[in-house]
Structure 1
Amino acid sequence: MHPVFLRIGSLAEIHAATATGPLARGRRVIARTGRGIELGEVIGPCGNSRAISDSSVTIVRATTQEDELLIRRLDRHKRQAVEACRTALAESGSPACLLDVDQIFDGGTLVMHFLGPVDDIAASVTKAVAEKYESIVRSRHFAKLLSDGCGPDCGTAEGGGCGTSCSGCAIAAACK
């Protein structure tokens, strides 16, 4: 195992993680976190074994060209969701201030970050915007393939590596 530090999310949270192989600084990766499958960026090696043993973050794989295309699509929809939410909050008279949004890589979840308290109006506005966004980008089949590949732990050492379960594995190319 190769321990690294990852930068994840719009707030640039730093997490210790493990990878199956060495990864260069700046490399974008798909990681499994407590929130789901997320995009991360390697910021350097981690020599702290305690940080790794306490970490719940694992690197699934490095991003592929297909992932980068999907990331651009998700970013476009995310920007639209942020602007729609900010506009709706201003029009409703809510004092809530939306800072930014994290999107989970499968497109099924938005995590909204606010400055200060969130009132009932802001809660209902953000719920409506999130539901609209998620209905646009969500693909349950894609999310399942992204998470599982051709079976649980596909592409990991526990699952026997890539391509061992089926020849049509959705993530086989990324694992090679």
Structure 2
Amino acid sequence: MGEGPGCLVRYGLTGHVGRFPVDPSSGLGAARGQAVVVRTDRGLELGEVLVPSAAGAEAPGDGSHRVLRAAGPDDLAAARRGESLRAERFAACREVLDGAGPGLDLELLDVEPLLDPETTVLHVLGVAAGDLALLRARFRSLMDIDVVFESCGADPLAAPAPPPSSSRGGCGDCDCGAGGCGSSRKAEPGPAASCGTATAHAGCASCGLHRR
């Protein structure tokens, strides 16, 4: 079955944006702002069309990511039911995680019930030392739901990693390692003061805004 141009769709609690194929035979005349039902690698979700199509570009037609239909009254009602479940489900999911035993370094930040009422995305901070399959089985056993773990990134309170050292010196604000970008030290004389060119270093693409 042929695929039409991909729509850019925003979906999910944290505002994911992806390109989704639309089957021409579906009769969907997507317009910006239209609510649609999309299939993602997380499950069935409600999305919002940002760009109806992109000329000359098509999303992969593997079936895992696609616009299924325009969202109807039943879909919108299911999304509202999911939203109403968030507080209760958050408390229940946190209790399951707390009882999972030692070795689990996960902090539950939020939950996101999808259109399928049996699937919930858990937004977590940290990593699980054990087998996530066993943890998913625990949720299925205790709550009769399927869970998808979505990491929300590194702990912002953790100390940042030190910048990589450069044997040639540099401004510290770019990736050229050549020095002479004008933001912290003068250019070194000779070829060592260039970004792999024969001319003296005069700034590079990643630190040009820092030049003075």
TM-score (normalizing by structure 2): 0.49
Distance verdict in 2 for CA 1:17–1:70, change over 3 Å: same
The whole-number CA distance in structure 2 between the counterparts of 1:130 and 1:79 is 20
Number of equivalences: 135
Checking the alignment, whether the CA contact within 8 Å between 2:139 and 2:145 is kept in structure 1 is no
Displacement, 1:60? 1.2
For residue 99 of structure 1, what is the amino acid of its counterpart? L
Checking the alignment, whether the CA contact within 8 Å between 1:85 and 1:125 is kept in structure 2 is no
* TM superposition outliers: structure 1 runs of 4+ over 6 Å: 90-94
Percent identity of paired positions between Structure 1 and Structure 2: 27
How big is each residue's C-alpha offset from its partner over 1:125-171, in whole Å with a ceiling of 9 and x where there is no partner? 99448842639xxxxxxxxxxxxxxxxxxxxxxxxxxxxxxxxxxxx
Aligned equivalent of 2:41, options 34, 45, 49: 34
Aligned equivalent of 1:7, options 5, 10, 16: 10
For residue 113 of structure 2, what is the amino acid of its counterpart? Q
Comparing 4-13 and 93-102, the one that deviates more: 93-102
For residue 123 of structure 2, what is the amino acid of its counterpart? H
The whole-number CA distance in structure 2 between the counterparts of 1:125 and 1:62 is 31
RMSD of aligned alpha carbons: 3.5
Higher Cα radius of gyration: 2
Q: Which runs of 5+ in 2 are unaligned?
A: 147-212
Which structure has the highest helix share of the two?
A: 1
Q: Which runs of 5+ in 1 are unaligned?
A: 136-176
Displacement, 1:5? 0.4
Distance verdict in 2 for CA 1:48–1:116, change over 3 Å: farther
What residue number does 1:53 align with?
Answer: 60
For residue 115 of structure 2, what is the amino acid of its counterpart? F
What residue number does 1:102 align with?
Answer: 112
Aligned equivalent of 1:112, options 102, 106, 122: 122
For residue 70 of structure 1, what is the amino acid of its counterpart? A
The whole-number CA distance in structure 1 between the counterparts of 2:127 and 2:141 is 18
Checking the alignment, whether the CA contact within 8 Å between 2:28 and 2:69 is kept in structure 1 is no
Aligned equivalent of 2:20, options 8, 17, 41: 17
Aligned equivalent of 2:75, options 50, 67, 85: 67
The whole-number CA distance in structure 2 between the counterparts of 1:16 and 1:62 is 16
Checking the alignment, whether the CA contact within 8 Å between 1:84 and 1:129 is kept in structure 2 is no
Displacement, 1:49? 4.1
The whole-number CA distance in structure 2 between the counterparts of 1:69 and 1:114 is 27
Distance verdict in 2 for CA 1:11–1:131, change over 3 Å: farther
Counterparts in 2 of 1:158-169, with a 5 A limit?
none
How big is each residue's C-alpha offset from its partner over 1:59-93, in whole Å with a ceiling of 9 and x where there is no partner? 11111122222221122123311133346657989
What residue number does 1:134 align with?
Answer: 145
Distance verdict in 2 for CA 1:39–1:133, change over 3 Å: farther
Checking the alignment, whether the CA contact within 8 Å between 1:81 and 1:130 is kept in structure 2 is no
How big is each residue's C-alpha offset from its partner over 1:16-68, in whole Å with a ceiling of 9 and x where there is no partner? 01334322222211112233322211112341644513674211111112222
Checking the alignment, whether the CA contact within 8 Å between 1:3 and 1:16 is kept in structure 2 is yes
Distance verdict in 2 for CA 1:3–1:50, change over 3 Å: closer
